[in-house]
Amino acid sequence: MGGNSEPETKFIQDMTEMNDDDGDGASDFKVTLTWHSFSELVLWPWGHCTNCYTPDDEYLVYHGNVMGQMTDYAPMQSSELYPTTGDFCDWHYGVHESYCYTIEIGNAFHELPEDIAHIAVRNLGIPFYMTEIADDPRYRAIVGIENTTARQWLADPANVTVPSNGDIPIGMCLDKAFPFTPDVNRTHLMWRFVEPNRQQNDFGPTEWVDVAWSMSPFMELGEQCALLDGSNGTTLESHIPLPDTSVGKIQYKAMLGTTNGAFPFTYPTVDEGGNYYELAIPYRASFGSSVLAVLMFLVIASFVWGGLGLTLRAMFDDERGVIGLPEDAP
């Protein structure tokens, strides 16, 4: 029992409490991660008491289970292993509300050198996952538990209607409970126009990675749509401003942000086959009026056939001789 009394723990306390970018007196660490050995476990608060739970227990359990699946480690509340006091994660969560996890790696306090690479690979995904949820770990857990984002969809190319002229509308169906922000910097459609050429092969044009992405805002239409589970959602729509004379492909994806700061939620998801959709764009510009086209044909025909008639007439004299031939020619 006790506080941060040693030089090492005082340093951790100072580093934590100095990370206060918004000046509200509280640490800005939203998630915290510490590795120990051994036991192959994923642990979360509380550790100081048994049969006791944090106010965020459901959400801490959710993320702990995800990391347990990633590593094939056993997830559990820290006190289920054995009670501790003065625990790093109890302090980080209890004082600063940081979602803190302890990963017990391996099967020995001092791992064999030949096992270190294997242990590192098993744990490599954890810091990336923690970084992903660090914007708002509580809401990320709520979304995961309720499966909100998995019900939402961005219109794929087969369900996009390219109009004969004007902007190209791209629709999206959101769960009504999803607190998206209308801030265009966080909720928008990312798109870029690419033009295939003969030098590109069937394996994909690598030069497209250099094409810059543009950003178009989403607008709420006030219309209902059907989510993937059949329930009602709300319709958003974004417009891609593309000239009617453009011929090529549009690559597009949606980026969503929430009012409480979670960002980004991206569509399509990796499970849907890629990082973006690709929509073929035909030539859409008008070819002009049919009446004017007929008149133009008649004018051109008059010049062509009239000129040909005059030429033939000039080629024969009054005696039907061919111009340029000798008079005694047969």
- The per-residue pLDDT for range 81-130, each reduced to its tens digit, is 999 888 889 999 999 999 999 999 988 999 899 999 999 999 999 999 99
Does the structural domain 7-146 have CATH classification 3.20.20.70?
no
Tokens of 236: 């958003």
Angle in degrees, CA 7, 8, 10, rounded to 5: 65
For domain 153-281, say whether CATH 2.60.40 is its number.
yes
Per residue of the chain (330 residues), what is the pLDDT tens digit? 667 888 988 998 899 999 888 888 788 899 999 999 989 999 999 999 989 999 999 999 999 999 999 999 999 999 999 998 888 899 999 999 999 999 999 889 998 999 999 999 999 999 999 999 999 999 999 888 888 888 999 999 999 999 988 999 999 999 988 888 999 999 999 999 988 766 655 555 556 677 889 999 999 998 999 999 999 999 999 999 988 888 889 999 999 998 888 888 899 986 666 689 999 988 877 766 667 667 777 778 777 777 777 776 666 655 555 555 555 655
Q: CA 142 to CA 218: how far, in whole Å?
A: 24
Domain residue spans of the chain: 7-146, 153-281, 293-330
Q: pTM (2 decimals)?
A: 0.69
Q: Answer whether the bond into residue 241 is a cis peptide, omega within 30°.
A: no
Q: Fill in the amino acid letter for 138.
A: R
| Residues in contact with 206: Cβ distance below 8 Å, sequence separation at least 6, in sequence order | none
Q: Report the SS3 class of residue 117.
A: helix
Asked if residues 156 and 173 have their Cβ atoms less than 8 Å apart, the reply is no
Topology agreement, domain 7-146 and domain 153-281: no
**CB neighbour list of residue 231: distance below 8 Å, 6 or more residues apart:** 151, 175
172 and 159 in contact (C-beta within 8 Å)?
no
Whole-number Å distance between alpha carbons of 106 and 114:
12
Q: How many whole angstroms separate alpha carbon 169 and alpha carbon 271?
A: 24
